[in-house]
Amino acid sequence: MGQVALEGMEFFAYHGYYDEEQKLGNRYSVDLYVKADLHAAAASDELQSTINYVVLYQLVAEEMQLRARLLEHVGHRILDRVLAEFPAVRSAKVRVSKHNPPFGGVCRRSAVTLKRKRGPE
């Protein structure tokens, strides 16, 4: 078993509970960790034997462009897509962070972290 990680992905998107947040938009960061058997890729040095990082990034970018009220919902959608599009993934964890949330005070980021394991098939 091994882990593929994409850390510090940044996007500008229009998520937020309040209408103003959805109009103005904000900066977001996403960290994604997926666990899968990486032994074949390690031995073969072949892209088709692993989890393609480029496809993972594109998947996250697509989900970040679909508006949502809650970061929890964005993270849930990302996990759904990862597990649907990568059958080799055994589990995944995503952290979605909003930079400078509109709290009226100092807060660099608010974040949610979600994890999911693939159920028995």
> Residue 121's pLDDT is what?
54
> Residue 54's pLDDT is what?
96
Residues with catalytic annotation? Answer: 98
Q: Using H for helix, E for strand and C for coil, what is the string for the chain?
A: CEEEEEEEEEEEECCCCCHHHHHHCEEEEEEEEEEECCHHHHHHCCHHHCCCHHHHHHHHHHHHHCCCCCHHHHHHHHHHHHHHHCCCEEEEEEEEEEECCCCCCCCCEEEEEEEEECCCC
> Residue 16's pLDDT is what?
92
> Residue 14's pLDDT is what?
96
Domains and CATH numbers, the chain: 2-117 (3.30.1130.10)
Does pTM surpass 0.75?
yes
Mean pLDDT, the chain, rounded, equals 94
> Residue 97's pLDDT is what?
98
Q: Where residue 49 falls among pLDDT bands split at 50, 70, 90? A: confident
> Residue 120's pLDDT is what?
65
